[in-house]
Amino acid sequence: MPTVRMPQLGETVTEGTVGRWLKKEGEAVAKYEPLLEVETDKVASEIPSPFAGMLSKVFAEEGATIPVGAPICEIGEATGAQAQASKPVAEAPAQSAGTAVASPVSEPVAASAPASVSAARSAPSQSTDGVRYSPAVRKLVRQHRIDVKQLPGTGRGGRVTAVDVLKLIESGGARPAAPAASAQPLQMPAAHPQPLPIAPPGEGDTVVRVTQMRKTIAERMVLSKTTIPHAWSMVEADVTAVAKWRETEKEAFKAREGANLTFLPIMVLAVCGALREFPAVNSTWAGDKIILRKGINIGIAVEIEDGLVVPVIRDADDLSLAGVARAVHSLAGKARSRKLTMEEMTDGSITVDNTGALGSIASVPIINPPQAAIITMEAVVKRPWVINDAIAIRSIMNVCLCLDHRVLDGAIASRFLQSVKRRLETFSV
Amino acid sequence: MAVKTVLESVRDALHSEMERDPSVFLMGEDIGPRGNVFRITAGFLDEFGRDRVVDTPLAEASIVGIAVGAAMAGMRPVAEIQFADFIYPAYNQIVGEAAKIRYRSAGGNSCPLVVRTPYGGGVRGALSHSVSVEALFYHVPGLKVCAPSTPADTQGLLTSAIRDDDPVLFLEHKRTYRLIKGEVPAGDYTVPIGKADVARTGKDVSVITYGLMRHFAMEAAEQLAGQGIETEVIDLRSIRPMDRETILNSIGKTRKALIVHEDQKFGGIGAEVSAIIAEEALFELDAPVKRLCGPDVPAMGYAKEYEEAFMPSPARIADAIKALADF
């Protein structure tokens, strides 16, 4: 009987905690249908079933921590009626390209392996759980969220071909499939849930091949915008004093420290201070709990050729202004030469986005999941400013914040923003 | 534009490069007074003299070994192996030496060498005049491998190969020599190494091929066009570097791939092409990647029946395309 084992959910991960069983003993499960959730210190993931069949025995209770490779359950042969209940369309979400869903370490036993395992040959065969679809068909089904179960195929043996699906989409006959299961926190929806057909490229149009980075950005942005309720707020900070100080100091700073004295490291330090004051902002929504992160790891958005990366300054609150400036310089350089390591790109607890570098004065950034907040620094502009009922010309910088409203409410966001503003306005080394 | 045979395009590329660049010279068996077994270099000895048209003994290791040394010393040798079947004694000189010189010297030396050789079957050449050797060489980093199929591509790629600063193995399908005629642009004509040619566009099935099989695939595609099947034919032209982009763009369009080569199937060029497709374009595929290749037997036999059984024919290619189109 095939055994499902604890998957390796990251190179350095050695064990995982069973979060929640999505199937009960005796329940039928389709191949790739979510079986359970596993949490590690890095990520919580849905584990798809590697086999079709029936969940016959569970070895690991919810909350149990199991070493990688140890058995967590057994999948037996499904009875006819149970197998009928599971259609391959349910496979689609678990197959999203680019997700971090690892296949469980599996150990099929030849004698009792389900028919679908041995039938994984080139011929389009009927397996116990219904029709098999090609990767191209499955991708189209996922992208367009359509139901092809009733579609008559024109391929060999009535196979549904990619062209059949495209014709269905073009004819406008596609109807949306029923939503698969309930939405799970870290499930990635398709990058382009496009219900409308896209006109094919015409003469003079250019087709740009989507890079892996672009795909990842698209998936993460859709994930963020569709699963995180964003709330937005903005404050205006009077940075006249720090701007003047920076003007007088920057030459000497550069000579002494070897890095440019820009507003970015000053902003990073202001955010660090505010996070220490309001630790709730340095957090992650984890479904049934909120994790407050101890380390203040500041992600900084760096624009590179054909994309964007967010390297992370670890424990930024331990660093001096010069330390942050050097870290920014080094990470941005590595980002542009594509030499960032995984460690330098993971575990960020909040992101600082220097949108002002390109002249923006207000923006609504998208949270970098699983973080709970993203904060921008807008362009420093001279503005007429009222001080003590008199008008002065001051250097003003807007600071915008988007937060995960599941984790935080407006009041704490406002206090956090006020803290950042105060720190910028009274900044001193 | 002039219409030439493949053979004439080889001759013209060699001739114009020798005229253009005094460091280009030829070495090989029977290339002098005999003018090469296919008469490619007829007249070259009188025109360019013994220093630049060097007749050699039957010693392939020496032909390439001497050429490697000359190339490192600043010459641009074009070494000929009379038939690819006899290239094995020079394997060490090509793979062990020429391909590694730039890397071994940290860029200090280069080896601007071309090794030309006729390959392939279909001419009743039997066991020792029919072999395809590309799979033995395309695995090797540092070595470029070209296998063009038309007169224009042959002349353009051979010119690029001679001007290239690194070693190039240049494979000429001997059946195409006099069989295939085509227009070649006049003047200084080059084709970039590493760029495939979309020989025919279609939306139903992609055929990825090279050499003689390009022409057979085009024939098959024309037959099938009458039945409403639109085949795209990709002629790789360069085996290494391989033009991944053109392959993947085509799969993105047709979603079905048939790889055709005369060389044996196991570990052949088709293995790499199908691996590229599987790695980069799995979610574009609407059918399994298929290969139609020579059989995994030691050699092509002399008997007509053996030869026909070995070589994919337009009819067999058409059947394989049709099976994929109907899948």
The 10s digit of each residue's pLDDT in A411-424 is: 999 999 999 999 99
Contacts of A169 (CB under 8 A, 6+ apart): A140, A144, A146, A197
CB B120 within 8 A of CB B95: no
Backbone φ, ψ for residue A404 (5° rounding): -80, 110
Between A16 and B135, residue with greater pLDDT: B135
Residue A104 has pLDDT above 60, yes or no: no
Residue B263 vs residues A42, A343, A352, B153, B278: alpha-carbon distances, Å: 49, 46, 57, 20, 21
Give start and end residues of each alpha helix (H) in A121-211. Answer: 135-144, 162-170
Q: What does the alpha-carbon distance between residue A136 and residue B287 come to, in Å, rounded to a whole number?
A: 9
CB A49 within 8 A of CB A32: yes
Torsion of CA A193, A196, A199, A205, to 10 degrees: -40
Q: What does the alpha-carbon distance between residue A362 and residue A254 come to, in Å, rounded to a whole number?
A: 29
With beta carbons under 8 A apart, name residues in chain B contacting A136.
255, 283-286
Whether chain B has a CB inside 8 Å of the CB on A122: the answer is yes
Residue with tokens 């641009």: B76
With beta carbons under 8 A apart, name residues in chain A contacting B287.
134
pLDDT category of residue A90 using cuts at 50, 70 and 90:
very low
Across the strands, what pairs with A392? A385
Whether chain A has a CB inside 8 Å of the CB on B285: the answer is yes
B contact test, residue of A134, A192, A206 with most B CBs within 10 A: A134
Whether chain A has a CB inside 8 Å of the CB on B288: the answer is yes
Q: What does the alpha-carbon distance between residue B2 and residue A413 come to, in Å, rounded to a whole number?
A: 76
Whether chain B has a CB inside 8 Å of the CB on A138: the answer is yes
Across the strands, what pairs with A232? A402
Residue A280 vs residues A231, A232, A319, A322, A424: alpha-carbon distances, Å: 15, 17, 21, 27, 21
Q: Which of A122, A124, A136 sits opposite B284 (nearest CB)?
A: A136
Q: What does the alpha-carbon distance between residue B9 and residue A245 come to, in Å, rounded to a whole number?
A: 73
With beta carbons under 8 A apart, name residues in chain B contacting A97.
283
Query: Cβ–Cβ contacts within 10 Å for residue B254, how many?
Result: 25
With beta carbons under 8 A apart, name residues in chain A contacting B255.
134, 136, 162
Whether chain A has a CB inside 8 Å of the CB on B326: the answer is yes
With beta carbons under 8 A apart, name residues in chain B contacting A139.
283-284
Contact flag B326-A137 (C-beta cutoff 8 Å): no
pLDDT score for A174: 60
Average pLDDT rounded to a whole number, residues B109-121? 97
Compute the Cα dihedral for A128, A130, A136, A140 and give only its sign: negative
Query: Smallest Cα–Cα separation from A47: which of A132, A77, A68, A111?
Result: A68
With beta carbons under 8 A apart, name residues in chain A contacting B249.
209
Average pLDDT rounded to a whole number, residues B88-109? 97
pLDDT score for B4: 96
Q: Which of B282, B288, B327 sits opposite A155 (nearest CB)?
A: B327
Q: What share of chain A is helix, strand, coil (3-state, %, to 5)?
A: 30, 25, 45
Minimal CA separation from A40 to chain B, in Å: 28
Q: Is the ipTM of this complex over 0.90?
A: no
Contact flag B283-A159 (C-beta cutoff 8 Å): no
CA-based radius of gyration for chain B: 19
Backbone φ, ψ for residue A215 (5° rounding): -60, -45
Specify the DSSP class assigned to residue A216.
H
In this structure, the strands spanning A373-387 and A390-404 are antiparallel
Contact flag A156-B327 (C-beta cutoff 8 Å): yes
Contact flag A139-B326 (C-beta cutoff 8 Å): no
Residue B184 vs residues B48, B175, B236: alpha-carbon distances, Å: 24, 19, 19
Is residue A38 within a helix (H) or strand (E), and if so which, with residue range? strand A34-39
Minimal CA separation from A419 to chain B, in Å: 48
Q: Which of B245, B283, B327 sits opposite A97 (nearest CB)?
A: B283
Nearest CA in chain B to A207: B249
Minimal CA separation from B152 to chain A, in Å: 29
With beta carbons under 8 A apart, name residues in chain A contacting B286.
134-137, 161-163
Between the ranges A18-27, A336-345, B108-117, where is the mean pLDDT highest?
B108-117
pLDDT category of residue A106 using cuts at 50, 70 and 90:
very low
The domain segmentation of chain B, as residue ranges, is: 2-184, 197-326
Contact flag A162-B326 (C-beta cutoff 8 Å): no
Contact flag B282-A124 (C-beta cutoff 8 Å): no
Q: Which of B249, B285, B326 sits opposite A156 (nearest CB)?
A: B326
Contact flag A124-B255 (C-beta cutoff 8 Å): no
Residue with tokens 């590697």: A50
Q: What does the alpha-carbon distance between residue A338 and residue A345 come to, in Å, rounded to a whole number?
A: 11
pLDDT in tens, A259-287: 899 999 999 999 999 999 999 999 999 88
Across the strands, what pairs with B226? none
Token pair, residue A269, equals 């330090």
Q: What does the alpha-carbon distance between residue B268 and residue B259 come to, in Å, rounded to a whole number?
A: 10
pLDDT category of residue A46 using cuts at 50, 70 and 90:
confident
**Which of A133-142, A334-343, A390-399, A408-417 shows the lowest per-residue confidence on average (mean pLDDT)?**
A334-343
Q: What does the alpha-carbon distance between residue B109 and residue B162 come to, in Å, rounded to a whole number?
A: 17
Q: What does the alpha-carbon distance between residue B115 and residue B266 come to, in Å, rounded to a whole number?
A: 25
pLDDT score for B192: 98
Whether chain A has a CB inside 8 Å of the CB on B282: the answer is yes
The residues of B assigned a catalytic role are 129
Residue A108 vs residues A24, A82, B129: alpha-carbon distances, Å: 20, 20, 49
Nearest CA in chain B to A162: B286
Minimal CA separation from A135 to chain B, in Å: 5
CB A162 within 8 A of CB A140: yes
Given phi > 0 = left and psi -120 to 50 = alpha, else beta, which region is A217? Answer: alpha
Contacts of A147 (CB under 8 A, 6+ apart): A89, A141, A174, A175, A176, A177, A178
Minimal CA separation from B323 to chain A, in Å: 9
Whether chain A has a CB inside 8 Å of the CB on B287: the answer is yes
Nearest CA in chain B to A122: B288
The residues of A assigned a catalytic role are 405, 409
Residue A96 DSSP SS3:
coil
CATH topology of domain B2-184: Rossmann fold (3.40.50)
pLDDT score for A9: 73
Displacement of CA B7 from its chain's centroid (Å)? 14
Minimal CA separation from A137 to chain B, in Å: 7
Token pair, residue B147, equals 């296998």
Residue A67 has pLDDT above 80, yes or no: yes
Residue A101 has pLDDT above 60, yes or no: no
Residue A100 has pLDDT above 70, yes or no: no
Across the strands, what pairs with B259? B208, B291
Contact flag B285-A138 (C-beta cutoff 8 Å): no
Nearest CA in chain B to A161: B286
Q: What does the alpha-carbon distance between residue A106 and residue B240 come to, in Å, rounded to a whole number?
A: 38
CB A330 within 8 A of CB A182: no
Token pair, residue B153, equals 């591509």
Token pair, residue A329, equals 């310089």
Residue A111 has pLDDT above 70, yes or no: no
With beta carbons under 8 A apart, name residues in chain B contacting A159.
327
Query: Smallest Cα–Cα separation from B170: which of B112, B126, B129?
Result: B112
Whether chain B has a CB inside 8 Å of the CB on A97: the answer is yes
How large a percentage of chain A has pLDDT more than 90? 41
**Which of A345-349, A360-364, B112-116, B149-153 shows the lowest per-residue confidence on average (mean pLDDT)?**
A345-349
pLDDT category of residue A16 using cuts at 50, 70 and 90:
confident
Contact flag A136-B288 (C-beta cutoff 8 Å): no
CATH topology of domain B197-326: Rossmann fold (3.40.50)
CB B193 within 8 A of CB B144: yes
Contact flag B327-A136 (C-beta cutoff 8 Å): no
Residue B1 has pLDDT above 90, yes or no: no
Whether chain A has a CB inside 8 Å of the CB on B286: the answer is yes
For chain B, the three-class secondary structure string (H helix, E strand, C coil) is CEEEEHHHHHHHHHHHHHHHCCCEEEEECCCCCCCCCCCCCCCHHHHHCCCCEEECCCCHHHHHHHHHHHHHCCCEEEEECCCHHHCHHHHHHHHHHHHHHHHHCCCCCCCCCEEEEEECCCCCCCCCCCCCCHHHHCCCCCCEEECCCCHHHHHHHHHHHHHCCCCEEEEEECCHHHHCEEEECCCCCCCCCCCCEEEECCCCEEEEECCHHHHHHHHHHHHHHCCCCCEEEEECCEEECCCHHHHHHHHHHHCCEEEEEEEECCCCHHHHHHHHHHHHHHHHCCCCCEEEEECCCCCCCCCHHHHHHHCCCHHHHHHHHHHHHHC
Residue A178 vs residues A89, A139, A171, A175: alpha-carbon distances, Å: 10, 17, 20, 9
Contact flag B286-A97 (C-beta cutoff 8 Å): no
Does this chain's domain B2-184 share its CATH topology with B197-326? Answer: yes
Residue A85 vs residues A28, A29, A90, A153, A241: alpha-carbon distances, Å: 8, 9, 10, 22, 68
pLDDT score for B235: 98
Q: What does the alpha-carbon distance between residue A189 and residue A397 come to, in Å, rounded to a whole number?
A: 36
pLDDT score for A242: 93
Minimal CA separation from B247 to chain A, in Å: 13
Contacts of A415 (CB under 8 A, 6+ apart): A278
Contact flag B283-A139 (C-beta cutoff 8 Å): yes
- Where b means 16+ CB within 10 Å and e means fewer, A348-370 reads bbbbbbbbbeeebbebebbbbbb
Q: What does the alpha-carbon distance between residue B53 and residue B43 come to, in Å, rounded to a whole number?
A: 10
Residue B230 has pLDDT above 80, yes or no: yes
Across the strands, what pairs with A3? A74, A107
Instruction: Give the domains, in start order, of chain A with CATH numbers.
Output: 3-128 (2.40.50.100), 228-425 (3.30.559.10)
Minimal CA separation from A261 to chain B, in Å: 39
Q: What does the alpha-carbon distance between residue A11 and residue A14 come to, in Å, rounded to a whole number?
A: 8
Contact flag B327-A137 (C-beta cutoff 8 Å): no
